[in-house]
Amino acid sequence: MTKMGKREEIARAALDLIAEHGFHGTSMAMIAERAKVGAGTIYRYYESKDALIEGLFKEVELKLHETLWNETVKDQSVRERFLHLGNSLLRYLIDNPIHFKYLEQFFNSPYGVEHRREKIFGEESKDNEILEVFIDGVSKGEMKDLPIVILCAQSFGPIMAMARDHNLGFFTLDDDLIPQVIEACWDAIKRK
């Protein structure tokens, strides 16, 4: 068993439980018990349940970020870079169903909406490597001439939808299908 600090124990326990039971189905007491800490201890590391939820998101987001970043091949064509990105993302989501469930919960809540609003309208753009692909794609005329945000929805919408349905067992995405569905995402946004 890996040695962990209390903060990590709490984060892992919360992530697992929230993925399984949702935000509202997971009480602080459940988290404390699973993390084998006292109920009050959680509040040393997270100011409130809300802060915990937001903190967990940041951790998951960071991990996802690293995955996508590492696997993105910077010098290839827009198409190649998009396909890499899509494949990596979809694989990550079905290989890490707990993170996926968490992200789903998060984006489908007031927390997530606010987060995205800031991402879109705020100055900082940490997702450079993702946005860059779309900016490049549009400016080089390889993607449809639509607002970036729409192109994101067109390509990440189905990826999230498919990851969800795969995780629910509605179908199975295997090594054959994954490239095909990502190719379809590309078809949706590429200039004809």
Partner DNA sequence: GATGAATGAGCGTTCATTCAT
Partner DNA sequence: CATGAATGAACGCTCATTCAT
What does the binding site for DNA look like in residue numbers (CB under 7 A)? 5-6, 26-30, 36-41, 43-45, 48-50
Among positions 28, 98, 131, 153, the unique one binding a second copy when judged by CB under 8 A: 153
Q: Residues 35-73, buried b or exposed e (16+ Cβ, 10 A)?
A: bebeeeebeebbeebeebbbbbbeebbeebeebbeeebe
Half-sphere exposure of residue 11: CA atoms within 13 angstroms, side-chain side = 16
Strand ranges (DSSP E) for 79-145?
none
Closer residue to DNA in complex, CB, 43/69? 43
Taking the complex as a whole, the smallest distance from the CB of residue 38 to DNA amounts, in Å, to 3
Stretch that binds a second copy, among 28-36, 55-63, 78-86, 150-158 (CB under 8 A): 150-158
1 binds a second copy (CB under 8 A): no
150 binds a second copy (CB under 8 A): yes
188 binds a second copy (CB under 8 A): yes
DSSP, collapsed to helix, strand or coil, labels residue 143 as strand
105 binds a second copy (CB under 8 A): yes
Let me know how long the chain is.
192
With CB cut-offs between 5 and 8 Å by kind, which of DNA, a second copy, none does residue 156 bind?
a second copy
The Cα 180–Cα 42 span in angstroms is: 44
Taking the complex as a whole, the smallest distance from the CB of residue 85 to DNA amounts, in Å, to 36
List C-alpha distances in Å: 73 to 68, 88, 129: 10, 11, 10
With CB cut-offs between 5 and 8 Å by kind, which of DNA, a second copy, none does residue 28 bind?
DNA
Q: Show Cβ contacts of residue 139 under 8 Å, excluding neighbours closer than 6 positions.
A: none
Stretch that binds a second copy, among 29-37, 58-66, 88-96, 140-148 (CB under 8 A): 140-148
